[in-house]
Every structure is written in C-alpha cells, then in structure tokens.
Structure 1
C-alpha cells in the first residue's frame, strides 16, 4: 500500500535473523538480534525512520516502513502491532488507498463489516486524516448486516455510524445501508440491484469475472473462522452467482442476515483482515499456517483470496499461535 521497505523474519532454533531492505539507493543490512528484541519489533510500531530498528529507539513515522513476515510456505503480507499502533497503521494505509483510488477513478468504494473492525478506524476521524481525506469521494457499503432496525444494538449500520460515519463528512447519499424495512430476501435483492447500478455508473469498479470490485473491503474474523456472515459449513459459502444473499438460519443470533457472497469479497482490489484478541488466534493460525486437508471443509477465512491484495493486521493476541519464543 505505497510503503517503502520490508522487514522479513526467519526463525531458526539457533537464532532469529532480521533482514532490513532499505529504500532505493541504500544497501541492505542484516542484523542478528535477541528473541527479546525480535519480540519488541513484532509487537510494537513496525514503521520507523532511520537505518536500524535495533539499538537506539528510532523516531517513529507511520508509513515509512512495512514489516511483513516471510513464512516457510510463501510470502504473505502480515503485520503484528500493539492495538494502538494497529489503529495508527490501518488509518495510514486506508488514507493512502483513498488518495490512490480518488485520483484514479474519482471514487473510493469501501465495504465495512461488523465486530471490532470499526473501532480500529478511529484514527481516521482525527487530524491529519479528518481534514486531508477527500471524504466526498467515499462510497460506503456493508459486507453483511443483521435483519434488525438500524438503531438496534445488533445493527452493523449502527456500529459503523456511531463509531465512524457520524464523525466524518461523507455525503449521506454515498452511504448505502441495507434496507431494514424489508425481509431478508427482499433486502438482499434490493442491495444487489443497487450494487449493479453503481457498477454501471463506475462508482464501483467491475472485476474481470463481472463481479463488483470494491476498492477496499475491511473484514474481521470470528473465533470459528467466519468472515462477515459467512459461517463455516453454511450453504451460502457455495453461492457463486449472486452478489448478495441472505440466510434465516445463522449459527449465531440474530438468525436472519444479509451478506456479500464469497466471489464478491474475492473480487476486491484490497482486503484488510483486522483481527485482534487471543480468542481469534486459532482461526488466524489455521488461515495462515495450516495445510488444508482435502477431506475436510475449509473455514471461510481460508477461502479469502482476493484478485487484488490481501493484508493482515494482527495484534499480539491474535498472532500468538504464529510466534513461539
């Protein structure tokens, strides 16, 4: 997301080797550090100015360095932060994407989910982002919604409005809530009709496979591996034609829900997985480290594989099964 360097971690029984690739015109430096220093690097702000993250405390500057983990099974964009630094870094990256797509397309389409994701957007409602982002170009959608009134405590709309949308100047006409006056099937059909209209007008881009291509989808993960309202072993996971579907038998109340289908999420230009808390550690480990047994069902989180970029924002608790010290 327009960041300028990569920090990769390779762990062996003998040592932990950190390789810092600096911006162009600077040579790469290899540093041998203790497990304690590695822990500090992983679980604090992994963005800094300076030539070395070890030794002197560097001057922090959000967005100058991207820290990612190089897994044995391949390269994945994964970052681990304290909760506060997660919010800071997520705000920076979202703002960068907003600027990018506003310049390229004249619009920035963002799909929100429920849970704790909204809480980690809190830095966007503060300077410098509040005054520097072109909020008039934002178009906001919901990955999923519960069939409840908008003022209900279970409403994803209420969660997003109270914690984020009411604090930024996005035009009301650019906020596309799911209709709470309709039954689940009707609300899903109307929402899909609206998405198709907005794709035709290029408010939302179109993917190569003719699904809407959101500029950014923000997802959380449940302890059971669910994303949005896509639950493990639920029949809606197999829906591959509709853009928006519904269920009346959610494994978790409220029972009636509307949700984007998996192909829509996977058509996105960017997906940010924002996951915090030790209760999510098993799901994160399964998604990033476990080999899928062909005889078993994949968890929904394992099925997220977008056309564009998938990036994970984890706190220490959510990443606790990945790192053993």
Structure 2
C-alpha cells in the first residue's frame, strides 16, 4: 500500500491560490529538469479561474511561470465549437490564456479538432493521435505521462467527463474516450480515460465551497465514495494526488487534512 492522497485545506482563496502556485511551479520545474517541457492537462468548471489567480497575480518571487515551456491539453472537452460557451478551451482561453503577460511567454495549446464535432468517436481518436504524437513519438508507451493534471470534482464525484457508474470507468486501453450521453449537458464530449488520469506524475484537484462538503465526505470517508471517479483516482494514484480545498468544502470530513500552506 502506498501513502494516501494529500488533502490541503485553506481558510481563504488567497491562501489556496498561493499554495496551488507553489505546487504547479514545483511540478513545472521538475518537468523542465527531466525533459525541457511541461505537459499539463486541464479541466474546466471553476478551475481555470482559480488557476489564473494562482499563476497570474503578483507573487513574492518564489519562482517564475515559464509558459513558453508549457504544453496544455484538455482532460475533457465538449463537442462544441471553440468559441461556444460550453467549450472548456474557451473557458481556459478567456480566464487564463488571454491574460498571460508577454514576458511569461505563450504556451502551446492542443484543442480538439472541430472538424469532427458530428463524430465524437473520430474526435476522440484524433485527440488520442495528438497525444501519441507528443508522448509516444519515439517509442511505444502504454499510457501517456502528464507532468500534471489539474482537475475538478463535481457534486456527484465525477471528474473530467468520467461520471459515476459509467462503463467508461472500466476502459483500460483507449487514452481518449467519446461520450454521447453525458448526464450533464452538453451530452457529447470526449475525456481522458481513468488509466491516463491516474498515470500522471502529479494530479491536483481543486474543490471549494460548502456545496462540496457532502461529496467530499463521501469520497474521503466512505467505501462507496472510493468507487466514485474522484475516489478511484485517489485509490489508484494515492500520494501522487493532492487536493486543494477551502474549509467549507471539508466541513465534517474525518480524513486528516493539512491546514495552511504546503
């Protein structure tokens, strides 16, 4: 048995952002030492806004975000045009990418190919080909290894577009999966598979607000919650997982949280 996931709780959004920044910079710097590039998968929801606060606001000089060395992928995406209000790309672009100061450089970004909006199996296959070209160009690998995945947790315990009880949770071979019947609109999406998510070097979740306390208690304190998508990531990736939460999100949670900064 490995060590359990890390659960970090903060009193304020500023404290959370500061620790998230330190965490991302540590992942960035380790990745640049290993292979001169930082490969990150992002989800949508409230995460891009929190991430922008962490990375773009003035810091106390604990390191520099080197966006020109970043490659950004999407942990899941909706089968909509890139300028559609449901697009995770649009959300990340507006909340973060458009606001990056020129001196920090511009990341390489890998959105979906909108030619395949009407064929989500092909869209998933094409996105997987993108991953293969980046992660497996020189040799065959069973799974891509993201340096960091930054994810959210839905009120039902879903993450990416992996939903509770979905047969997609049992898929072991594909890297990217199509979804035609998402319980959350829009119904057509693609998502990284659970094995790909769990294979990341680091996996960070951000969950805030009292609306999350019920699902957080379930994920961390119950056997049933360990079978939810977020719980499965915890179980499979163990100490490579770090949660960044505020105090209201873990009210009543028995699992030990570390209070304050990393």
Q: Tell me the TM-score normalised to structure 1 length.
A: 0.69
- Give the Å deviation of 1:291: 2.5
Structure with larger RCO (C-alpha < 8 A, sep 6+): 2
| Residues 115 and 220 in structure 1, CA contact (< 8 A), matched pair in contact too | yes
Equivalent residue runs for 1:189-200 within 5 Å = 189-200=125-136
Look up the match of 2:194. 262
Look up the match of 1:248. 180
- Give the Å deviation of 1:201: 4.0
- Give the Å deviation of 1:307: 7.3
- Give the Å deviation of 1:289: 1.3
- RMSD between aligned residues: 2.4
SS at structure 2 position matched to 1:306 = helix
| Residues 216 and 250 in structure 2, CA contact (< 8 A), matched pair in contact too | yes
Gaps of at least 5 residues in structure 2 are 256-262
Look up the match of 1:116. 46
| Residues 217 and 254 in structure 2, CA contact (< 8 A), matched pair in contact too | no
The reply on whether 1:303 has 2:232 as its aligned counterpart is: yes
Which structure has the greater CA radius of gyration? Answer: 1
- Give the Å deviation of 1:308: 6.4
Runs of 4+ in 1 over 3 A off after TM superposition: 127-131, 169-172
Look up the match of 2:111. 177
Look up the match of 2:36. 106
The number of residues matched between the two structures is 243
Look up the match of 1:314. 245
Look up the match of 2:260. none
Gaps of at least 5 residues in structure 1 are 1-73
The reply on whether 1:91 has 2:21 as its aligned counterpart is: yes
Structure richer in helix, relative to its length: 2
In structure 1, C-alpha distance between the alignment counterparts of 2:76 and 2:57, rounded to whole Å: 26
Look up the match of 1:282. 214
Look up the match of 1:153. 85
Indicate which of 143, 158, 162 corresponds to 1:226: 158
Equivalent residue runs for 1:203-218 within 5 Å = 210-218=142-150
In structure 2, C-alpha distance between the alignment counterparts of 1:75 and 1:237, rounded to whole Å: 21
